[in-house]
């Protein structure tokens, strides 16, 4: 899709739909000249349809040749307190509506919103995020949008280009997470990483079972033992000249989580192809770094593995040794993500990083706590957690901190090994994070439990830029955090 921004006046754009964000209670604010051009039709339609500008509602008016656009679409934004998020939502709603109308060319004019580069970028980001569809195995019968042009703005070219990079990275993550688990395997993630390395100039290393054995990465090997697909630890290294800081981003890449011998119920297993959403976010992030010119060294570490029930599968009672020589007693094979991440987090220490951030669909408990509307964040460093929460705010991705009390660490101490991988039902997200903390080095670290937000069973009740299925959660937060940190 072509995206652009220009200072072209709103009455000069030939398109199929011209969308305009409007605030609740003021659906005609700043639109008098437009209403005049339409001979009062806009005001009539607002009155007739009782259009108030409530969030995510739309009003369509045909122009019958009075303007070069075929239709005007007012998009409600509610109070629009967060201008960027209101712009993303409005543009996403407009893009979805335009696609439903089989429109090809979408124009967006900020209307009463300030015509700044930030607003233009948020409009482009939202339109792209809202227009996303996963069509690899079933083409969508309604045609896709061909172009989005934001009009009436100046000096927005660079901001719009960045927004496009963020949206494309999010598409990349969504495609991987929506991909079926017979296609998206540990080996295919490794292949994709190598390809990214060639395309983007990243150094990529892939450790399969022989290397993992040599390294002493017994934890990821144990989780992978029940599958014919060999586990892979994938490392991508983006190292710009004169890099300022070194950050490591770690992703849980369980390409299918059947639960292992502690097998999941059929409902529990239904969406478990999405258990590699953390890994997808990490790959998508690394892919976008060169285009954004991020001034830091960023290392992506992905633990890619399938959690199945083959005859060699790890068992409750097994004791495994992680990369840092610490021992783990397996008390539940369905708490596999933390076991995989133990090796990845221990590996991350080698870079002496300024900070490590991991993303993982780690616990059902994070969904119990926060529903489908925020990721849990926990960590060992106030400033790091705060900077990530703020980056999430700018991205429109909610991160809500849960406490990492010492009691949760105590709950994860093992009987026969140093640690156990499950520690009772209550406070599950905190206990999962407490286990991870044991494998983290002396550096600042934060853990994002994205179990509730990475994959949506239904679109209802969600923002228009979050489709059913994979959301790509985390990609835009990570990139904003790296760009501004
Ligand atoms: N992948 C799941 C967590 C999950 C659940 C993600 C639902 C997305 C939606 C994880 O591997 C898991 O099974 N966690 C267990 C941990 C428990 C056994 C300590 C859980 O949350 O039940
Ligand atoms: Mn599991
Ligand atoms: Zn899992």
pLDDT digits (tens, 9 = 90+) for 331-374: 999 999 999 999 999 999 999 999 999 999 999 999 999 999 99
In angstroms, what is the span from residue 264 Cα to ligand 2's centroid?
Answer: 8
**What is the residue with the minimal CA distance to atom 5 of ligand 1?**
364
| Pocket flag, ligand 1, residue 449 (CB < 6 Å) | no
In angstroms, what is the span from residue 431 Cα to ligand 3's centroid?
Answer: 15
**What is the residue with the minimal CA distance to atom 8 of ligand 1?**
451
| Pocket flag, ligand 1, residue 237 (CB < 6 Å) | no
pLDDT band at 462 (very low <50, low <70, confident <90, very high): confident
133-170 pLDDT per residue, tens:
999 999 888 889 999 999 999 999 999 999 999 999 99
Residues of the chain with CATH 3.40.220.10: 2-153
Alpha-carbon dihedral 282, 284, 289, 292, rounded to 10 degrees: -140
Pocket test for ligand 1, best of 263, 269, 362 (most atoms within 8 A of CB): 362
Ligand nearest to the CA of 259: 2
* Predicted confidence (pLDDT) at residue 460 exceeds the cutoff of 80: no
> How high is the pLDDT of residue 141?
85
Pocket test for ligand 1, best of 277, 306, 334 (most atoms within 8 A of CB): 334
366-397 pLDDT per residue, tens:
999 999 999 999 999 999 999 999 999 999 99
**Sheet of strand 246-257, all strands in order from the earlier edge strand to the far edge:** 203-207, 232-238, 297-307, 246-257, 355-360, 445-449, 375-379, 399-401
Residues of the chain with CATH 3.40.630.10: 167-484
> How high is the pLDDT of residue 182?
98
> How high is the pLDDT of residue 458?
83
The burial class, CB within 10 Å (0-12 / 13-18 / 19+), for 191 is middle
Q: Which atom of ligand 1 is nearest to the CA of 425?
A: 19
Rounded-to-integer distance, Cα 279 and Cα 359, Å? 7
* Predicted confidence (pLDDT) at residue 269 exceeds the cutoff of 80: yes
Ligand nearest to the CA of 425: 1
| Pocket flag, ligand 1, residue 451 (CB < 6 Å) | yes
**What percentage of the chain carries pLDDT values higher than 70?**
100
Ligand nearest to the CA of 452: 1
E strand intervals along 183-275: 203-207, 232-238, 246-257
In angstroms, what is the span from residue 254 Cα to ligand 3's centroid?
Answer: 6
* Predicted confidence (pLDDT) at residue 459 exceeds the cutoff of 90: no
Ligand nearest to the CA of 332: 1
In angstroms, what is the span from residue 49 Cα to ligand 1's centroid?
Answer: 46
pLDDT band at 485 (very low <50, low <70, confident <90, very high): confident
> How high is the pLDDT of residue 233?
99
Tokens of 120: 């233009």
Mean per-residue pLDDT of the chain: 98
So which residues are the catalytic ones? 264, 338
Rounded-to-integer distance, Cα 443 and Cα 249, Å? 13
* Predicted confidence (pLDDT) at residue 90 exceeds the cutoff of 80: yes
In angstroms, what is the span from residue 256 Cα to ligand 3's centroid?
Answer: 8
Q: What is the DSSP letter of 466?
A: S
Tokens of 35: 């209403």
191-230 pLDDT per residue, tens:
999 999 999 999 999 999 999 999 999 999 999 999 999 9
Tokens of 455: 């994959």
CATH 3.40.1130.10 correct for 167-484: no
Rounded-to-integer distance, Cα 159 and Cα 169, Å? 15
Rounded-to-integer distance, Cα 55 and Cα 58, Å? 9
| Pocket flag, ligand 1, residue 364 (CB < 6 Å) | yes
For the structural domain made of 2-153, what CATH number should be given? 3.40.220.10
> How high is the pLDDT of residue 105?
98
Question: In 3-state terms, what secondary structure has residue 131?
Answer: helix
Q: Which atom of ligand 1 is nearest to the CA of 268?
A: 7
């Amino acid at each position: 899709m072509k995206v652009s921004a220009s200072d072209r006046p709103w009455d000069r754009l030939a398109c199929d739909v011209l969308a305009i964000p409007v605030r609740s209670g003021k659906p005609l604010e700043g639109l008098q000249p437009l209403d005049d051009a339409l001979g009062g039709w806009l005001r009539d339609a607002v009155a007739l349809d009782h259009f108030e500008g409530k969030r995510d509602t739309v009003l369509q008016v045909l122009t019958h040749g009075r303007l070069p656009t075929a239709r005007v679409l007012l998009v409600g934004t509610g109070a629009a307190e967060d201008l960027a998020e209101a712009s993303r939502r409005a543009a996403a709603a407009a893009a979805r509506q335009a696609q439903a109308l089989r429109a090809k060319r979408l124009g967006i004019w900020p209307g009463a919103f300030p015509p700044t580069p930030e607003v233009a970028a948020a409009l482009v980001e939202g339109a792209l995020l809202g227009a996303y569809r996963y069509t690899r195995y079933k083409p969508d019968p309604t045609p896709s949008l061909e172009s989005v042009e934001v009009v009436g703005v100046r000096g927005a070219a660079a901001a719009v280009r960045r927004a496009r990079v963020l949206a494309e990275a999010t598409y990349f993550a969504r495609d991987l997470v929506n991909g079926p688990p017979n296609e998206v395997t540990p080996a295919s993630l490794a292949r994709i990483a190598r390809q990214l390395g060639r395309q983007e100039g990243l150094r990529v290393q892939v450790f399969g079972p022989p290397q993992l054995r040599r390294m002493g990465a017994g934890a990821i090997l144990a989780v992978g033992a029940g599958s014919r697909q060999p586990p892979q630890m994938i490392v991508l290294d983006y190292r710009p000249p004169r890099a300022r800081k070194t950050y490591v981003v770690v992703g849980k890449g369980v390409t299918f989580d059947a639960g292992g011998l502690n097998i999941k119920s059929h409902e529990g297993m239904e969406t478990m192809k999405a258990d590699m959403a953390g890994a997808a976010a990490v790959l998508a992030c690394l892919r976008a770094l060169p285009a954004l010119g991020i001034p830091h060294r960023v290392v992506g570490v992905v633990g890619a593995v399938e959690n199945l029930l083959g005859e060699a599968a790890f068992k409750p009672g097994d004791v495994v040794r992680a990369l840092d020589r610490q021992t783990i007693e397996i008390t539940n094979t369905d708490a596999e993500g933390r076991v995989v991440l133990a090796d990845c987090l221990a590996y991350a220490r080698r870079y002496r990083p300024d900070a490590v951030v991991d993303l993982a669909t780690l616990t059902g408990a994070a969904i119990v706590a926060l529903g489908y509307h925020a990721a849990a964040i926990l960590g060992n460093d106030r400033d790091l957690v705060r900077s990530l929460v703020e980056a999430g705010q700018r991205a429109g991705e909610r991160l809500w901190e849960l406490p990492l009390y010492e009691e949760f660490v105590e709950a994860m101490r093992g009987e026969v090994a140093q640690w156990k991988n499950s520690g009772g039902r209550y406070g599950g997200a905190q206990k999962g994070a407490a286990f991870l903390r044991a494998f983290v080095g002396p550096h600042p670290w934060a853990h994002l439990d994205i179990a509730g937000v990475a994959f949506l069973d239904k679109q209802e009740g969600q923002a228009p830029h979050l489709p059913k299925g994979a959301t790509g959660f985390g990609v835009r937060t990570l990139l904003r955090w790296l760009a501004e940190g």
